[in-house]
Structure 1
Amino acid sequence: MAPRAVWKGTLKIAEIACPVSMYTATSTAGRISLNLVNRKTGHRLSRIYADTTTDKPVEAEDQVKGYETSEGKYVVLEPDEIAAAVPDSDKTLKVDSFLACNRIEPTYFDKPYYLLPSDEAGQEAFVLIREALRKRKTAAIAHAVLFRRVRPVLIRAHHDGLIATTLNFDYEVRSAKAAFKDIAKRKIDAEMLELAQHILKTKAGKFSPEKFEDRYEAALADLVKAKIEGRKVIPLRRPEPTKSNDLLNALRESAGAKQARAKGKKSSAAKSKKPAASTQRKAS
């Protein structure tokens, strides 16, 4: 668990109130961190903000935020003006409605947080809310001021606790219809579709995130190690995309290879179950 909560408040459903604490569910601490350095000296670089017209550095006390009203023209927003515009937080996750978990559009998911009871007194109410959501396979939609903004939050039962996922606003999510509009309609050959379904069936598995491999991080670690040791790293070859006229052959080869491996496994299993010849002779 994170050393400290990123938010503390009250989860409120109708007249049921439960004190809760929110912790980040993900972390980038394990990633390799790279810095910008001077190629000539090897020294680390620092960021300096400069005026784009005069090219002169600007001190921190003169750096303010602004909104561009026209090209090169800005209205300046002072820090206290921005702070005054932030809505007041009443530290409440107020549930507005409920919906079935299978009706949630994943493109609206932003960032997950673990939600835990803040104290012993609130544990009974917390468990009651968790189990009610779990039994009904339902998620709660709530709103709260989080990180200086009013955010919609999706709350679901998750293992022994709750998981609260901040949601993107509608204006932040691109239209799927607009994104996919240039994909041409095609009629897929029945044999190709059958072979593709067979491949999917033979590759069926369980969701096991511990088996996921971050190939970028692994390659970056190898590159850093090689540079330290003075070795040359040979880049990996990327697979060529399958051409349309080769797609059916690729499907047949993929399905045939998988069928052969499946038969091989069955044959090996049958041999392992068959009693040894010496055992059979002794028995006779």
Structure 2
Amino acid sequence: MVARAYWQGQIKLALVSIPVEVYPATRSGAAISFHQIHEPSGKRIRYEKVAPGVGPVDRDEIMKGFEVSKGSYVLLDEDEIEAVRIESRKTLELVQFVEASEIDVLYYEKPYFIVPADDLAEEAYVVLRDALRQTRRVGLGQLSVRGRERLVSIKPCGRGMVMEVLRYADEVHKAQGYFREIGEATPQEDLLDLAVTLIEKKSAPFKPAEFHDRYIDALERLIEKKRKAKGGKRILEDVEEPGQQGGGNVIDLMAALKKSVGSGGRTPERSSSGTKESTASRSAKSASAKSGSGKASSGGTKRAAAPARRRKSA
């Protein structure tokens, strides 16, 4: 099935106009919908439009209203609302160019593919694409479609270009209000080194197909079991969260990071003589030294020295 264009028109850059078509770049993921059912009869629950003191009303008698004060509304019919809709202009004018890093991730809402409308438009399309790539800029403009004016950005994507709908400033919460209580202290170097080692150990190319919605998978299995079960048998399954562990919120961060990295927080040392130990190894030894120095008893010193003697004799 051929996808339906979200918008058709022209991208305008000064006196240059490029006929294009815009298509959705994403689609809705898997979802399972439920209906409300009256259990004794097995019938589906339906809803009626009712007005207090009046009862059920006809759809033709329903209007849209904006509440201006408690219980007081300004009524608008569909023709009045339609009359103020912004005309879906067929031109997207690029009015500004910015570095992609200047647009915070919070402003991005939804991506669309932009393709040239015909062979004649392709030359200008390719020029704009490569100019954006060479300058490392994205173009900004406002697109009128379906009664709304959307702020959009345009940037290169492989052999083509992508248009991303952006949120307006009043649609984005300020991060300061949420991060204000986080302190300004810097983490211990040993902990940071171990965390960096763990991140590097788990780093890999992004493969979206390897991720899927486990909740949907579990629901589908449950529905299939219920379908096969006789007499409406109730099925409750405990699903363990990945990496779930018992205990409270108080943890030994150093121990947890060492365990996550593996081998007591050390990574294999390079075998050639004169080379430096790994970051994780240095961090683990430093942490052990600090831990040992905190114990003033002579017994603690002897116990710490024993492994060194065994390594020497070996």
TM range (shorter): 0.7 to 0.9
- Residue 251 (structure 2) pairs with residue 254 (structure 1): no
> Deviation at 1:125?
1.1
Aligned partner of 1:9 in structure 2 is: 9
Query: Aligned partner of 2:73: which letter?
Result: Y
TM-score, L = length of structure 2: 0.75
Aligned partner of 2:239 in structure 1 is: 236
Query: Aligned partner of 1:128: which letter?
Result: V
CA distance 1:54–1:235, shift in 2 (3 Å): farther
CA distance 1:138–1:65, shift in 2 (3 Å): same
TM-score, L = length of structure 1: 0.83
Q: What CA distance in whole angstroms lies between the structure 2 residues aligned with 1:113 and 1:100?
A: 19
Q: What CA distance in whole angstroms lies between the structure 2 residues aligned with 1:126 and 1:82?
A: 37
Equivalent pairs: percent with the same residue? 30
Q: Deviations over 1:67-121 (max 9, x none)?
A: 1111222111221111111122321111110111222211011111111111222
> Deviation at 1:14?
1.0
Q: Structure 1: which 5+ residue stretches go unaligned?
A: 267-284
Q: Please identify, of 220-229 and 66-75, the stretch whose mean Cα deviation from structure 2 is larger.
A: 220-229
2:258–2:264 CA contact under 8 A, matched in 1: no
Query: Aligned partner of 1:142: which letter?
Result: G
Q: What CA distance in whole angstroms lies between the structure 1 residues aligned with 2:30 and 2:103?
A: 30
> Deviation at 1:245?
3.5
Q: What CA distance in whole angstroms lies between the structure 1 residues aligned with 2:45 and 2:23?
A: 33
CA distance 1:2–1:160, shift in 2 (3 Å): farther
Q: Please identify, of 99-108 and 227-236, the stretch whose mean Cα deviation from structure 2 is larger.
A: 227-236
Q: Deviations over 1:169-224 (max 9, x none)?
A: 11110111112223345553332222111111111122221222222222222222
Query: Aligned partner of 1:49: which letter?
Result: K
Q: What CA distance in whole angstroms lies between the structure 2 residues aligned with 1:256 and 1:4?
A: 51
- Residue 65 (structure 2) pairs with residue 62 (structure 1): no
Q: Deviations over 1:38-95 (max 9, x none)?
A: 14233444443332x2372332222222111112221112211111111223211111
Q: What CA distance in whole angstroms lies between the structure 2 residues aligned with 1:135 and 1:149?
A: 32
CA distance 1:171–1:197, shift in 2 (3 Å): same
1:23–1:115 CA contact under 8 A, matched in 2: yes
Q: What CA distance in whole angstroms lies between the structure 1 residues aligned with 2:158 and 2:53?
A: 57
Q: What CA distance in whole angstroms lies between the structure 2 residues aligned with 1:160 and 1:127?
A: 8
Q: What CA distance in whole angstroms lies between the structure 1 residues aligned with 2:265 and 2:115?
A: 48
Larger Rg: 2
Q: What CA distance in whole angstroms lies between the structure 1 residues aligned with 2:108 and 2:125?
A: 23
CA distance 1:259–1:182, shift in 2 (3 Å): closer
Q: What CA distance in whole angstroms lies between the structure 2 residues aligned with 1:185 and 1:44?
A: 56
The number of equivalent residue pairs is 261
CA distance 1:200–1:169, shift in 2 (3 Å): same
1:86-165 pair list within 5 angstroms: 86-165=85-164
> Deviation at 1:8?
0.7
Aligned partner of 1:21 in structure 2 is: 21
Q: What CA distance in whole angstroms lies between the structure 1 residues aligned with 2:249 and 2:191?
A: 14
SS at match of 2:138: strand
